[in-house]
Amino acid sequence: MKLIADMICRAGATRLFSLDLYRKEIQGFFSIPVDNLRASPFLLTYIRNRIPDYRNAVIVAKSPDVMHKATSYADRLRLSVAVIHGEAKQGDCQVEEDGRQSPPLENYPAGSSRRLSSSFSSVMYRKERCGCLFSVLCQPTK
C-alpha cells in the first residue's frame, strides 16, 4: 500500500479523496491530506427507502475480519448479523431457530455477483440482494 501511496503522491496529487477505506490506518501511508468519505449514509438511506421488506434481511459479513462493519450496518438498520467462517460447500444450508436459512457462501471475489445470486437461489430464498461498495479496479462482469 505504501508503494501505491508514493506513486500517487509522486504523480503530483496534492489531496486524495477515498471512499470507505478498509482500514483508517491507510491514510497514514500518504504524505498528502486524505479525505475518507463514507458511503454508509447513502447506502442506509437507499435500503430504507427502496427495499420495502428490508426488515426481514440478515447482514452477512464475508469473514470475521469485517464483522465490525457488518455489525455497524446491522445495528443502524436494526437487523440480525451473520458471519461466514471458512468456506461453505455448495448447497450447504443451516436453518436458524426462527426459520430463516443461512446461505451457502464462499469468499466471493469482485465481479462474481452471478455466483452469489445462484448460491442464494439454490436454497430457495424469497429474494436475494447483493450490495457492494468497492471493487472499483475490477474488469467489467459479463
**Entry pTM:** 0.57
- Per residue in 50-108, pLDDT (tens digit) is 888 888 888 888 778 888 888 998 999 999 888 877 654 554 544 455 555 444 444 44
Location of C-alpha cell 448447497: 91
Q: Mapping DSSP to helix (H, G, I), strand (E, B) and coil, where does residue 38 land? A: coil
Within a domain: residue 140? Answer: no
**Summary mean pLDDT of the chain:** 72
Residue 134 CB neighbours (<10 A): 12
Instruction: Tell me, yes or no, whether 29 and 48 share the same domain.
Output: no
Domain holding 76, by residue range, is 40-121
Total domains in the chain come to 2
**15 and 50 both lie in a single domain:** no
